[in-house]
Amino acid sequence: MKWKCKSDPVILNLNLKFFISVILFSSLISPDSNSQQIQKDDYKLSFTYPGKKIENTISFYTSKSGYETIEATTGKKIKNIETFLLIINEDTLYPEKISTRGQTTLYYRRKSFSFDLKSKALFRHGERTEPLKKFFAISLSMDRNYCNNRLAFEMMETTNLFSLFYSFCELRINGQSEGIYMVIERPDDWAMKKKDSPLLIRRGYDHNIDKIVTEKSIEKSETKKYCTNYNLIYKCLNKYNGEELYETLSNLLDINSYMKWLAFNFFVRNGDYTDEVYFYFDPGINKFNILPWDYDDLFYPAPHEGNIENKKLLTDKLIFSAEDQLDKKIAADPYLHKIYLNQLGVMLDQLSPEVLRKVFENTYTELYPYYSTNEIIKMSGYDAYKNANIPKLQNDLTSLYQQLRISRDYYLDLLKSK
């Protein structure tokens, strides 16, 4: 469906202020409280116990001192962990390298890891299996109830914004459970092996190139050319306006996908996304496309940074954050903003009530066997949100589902009005 929407700043501003108060208070509704009686029946979730088992287990053995170092080291990466034995889903494998990774999670007891193997490990996610030689095992130490990334990934799969392999797993070190982890395909491997991309850029703040990965066969001159094209995305923002700007951006970037990603971040109230996106050159369309990353910080009342500027620029724009220059231009340029609202409508239409319910119930079903194993779930005591349990998971999933259902209905009605 192609959405047509004219934005009325007065209507948008008044309705948005009213609705923000609604969704903030809705987070306080408990599934067991009398308040839930005001919700429609189809706003409820079905929490079943289908006998699903733990899908993946990674177990490795290191020296006693090596294990103590992993536990005690804070803020610094361990570049190469001595490994005596590695077993993944009952297969004995041999690592080239195992190291810790991430930034903030390095300060937590449960570290995230990067695995580089000599042969491929086979991982499962429902009916899908994926052989991976290189992958990340993310600790989810800052992911409330371990569900935010999982929820976002399946929703973005539905909207054609994300297709990395991911699946929950248990990580064990020296026979001891380290808790719930998520195995995820590395962005550069996905871009280069599945999309034949020659280059992948991680965008930093102020659209700086925070990280760049290239195919081994790419010459420096070619890399420079791709980086120049990336920088042209931002240079044209001050040179053009309206339709001319849209056409120029479209020649450099799949701007509609970018706008849909921006709309998705608004819908799930992602508190931190400016520097959580990769730009990869897609030879299939001969321009850059995007790959989203890291969805710990969902369902926030406001973005982590740029709050004052956001209040000035975005009160009536239906965009959650204005940290990046491209996002600011999309909000400020009437032609671009109209297309953005169309993409918001398309995204909301793709995330139908049936899809949203399926995403939330799938997430619960996949997490349940980990939550119901005390040795695994007790490790949540080391994480940002502490002491995860099944009632809390059910309560929070229900509340978040209700928020998204209410906001979806609200914004679809709003986009259909003047």
The pLDDT tens digits of the residues spanning 195-223 come to: 999 999 999 999 999 999 999 999 999 99
**What integer is the mean pLDDT of 229-253?**
98
**What integer is the mean pLDDT of 48-64?**
91
The partner residues of 122 in beta bridges, in order of sequence, read 131
d(CA 147, CA 143): 7
Contact (CB, 8 A) for 44 and 377: no
Domain boundaries, the chain: 57-185, 196-350
Q: Which residue's structure tokens are 């700007």?
A: 245
Please give the residue that has the higher pLDDT: either 390 or 32: 390
> Is it the case that residue 135 has pLDDT exceeding 90?
yes
> Is it the case that residue 27 has pLDDT exceeding 50?
no
- Nearest by Cα to 96 from 117, 78, 82: 117
d(CA 243, CA 241): 7
pLDDT band at 238 (very low <50, low <70, confident <90, very high): very high
**What integer is the mean pLDDT of 103-114?**
94
pLDDT for res 49: 75
pLDDT for res 147: 97
**What integer is the mean pLDDT of 3-20?**
41
Please give the residue that has the higher pLDDT: either 376 or 25: 376
d(CA 299, CA 367): 20
pLDDT for res 45: 95
pLDDT for res 348: 98
Q: Which residues does 4 contact at the CB level (< 8 Å), separation at least 6? A: 342
**What integer is the mean pLDDT of 229-256?**
98
pLDDT for res 38: 36
- Both tokens assigned to 209: 């190139």
> Is it the case that residue 35 has pLDDT exceeding 70?
no
> Is it the case that residue 51 has pLDDT exceeding 90?
no
Q: What global pTM score does this model have?
A: 0.89
DSSP track, 129-155: EEEEEEEEEE--TTSGGGTHHHHHHHH
Contact (CB, 8 A) for 167 and 123: yes
Q: What is the mean pLDDT of the chain?
A: 89
- Both tokens assigned to 286: 């001969």
d(CA 25, CA 31): 14
Percent over 70 (pLDDT), the chain: 87
> Is it the case that residue 3 has pLDDT exceeding 80?
no
3 state SS of 184: strand
**What integer is the mean pLDDT of 6-11?**
37
Q: Which residue's structure tokens are 């050319």?
A: 225
- Nearest by Cα to 225 from 203, 251, 195, 198: 198
Note the pLDDT tens digit of each residue in 273-297.
Answer: 899 999 999 999 999 999 999 999 8
Contact (CB, 8 A) for 314 and 306: no
277-282: strand order across its sheet: 209-214, 199-203, 277-282, 287-292
Contact (CB, 8 A) for 269 and 298: yes
Note the pLDDT tens digit of each residue in 314-370.
Answer: 668 999 988 899 999 999 999 999 999 999 999 999 999 999 999 999 999 999 999
Question: What number of other Cβ atoms are within 10 A of residue 404's Cβ?
Answer: 24
> Is it the case that residue 170 has pLDDT exceeding 80?
yes
Which region among 5-19, 150-164, 242-256 has the lowest average model confidence (pLDDT)? 5-19
**What integer is the mean pLDDT of 113-136?**
97
DSSP track, 83-145: -SEEEETTEEE-EEEEEEE-SGGGGSSS-EEEEEEEEEEEEEETTEEEEEEEEEEE--TTSGG
pLDDT for res 30: 39
pLDDT for res 323: 86
Judged on CB neighbours under 10 Å (0-12, 13-18, 19+), 2 is exposed
Note the pLDDT tens digit of each residue in 378-415.
Answer: 999 999 999 999 999 999 999 999 999 999 999 999 99
pLDDT for res 301: 84
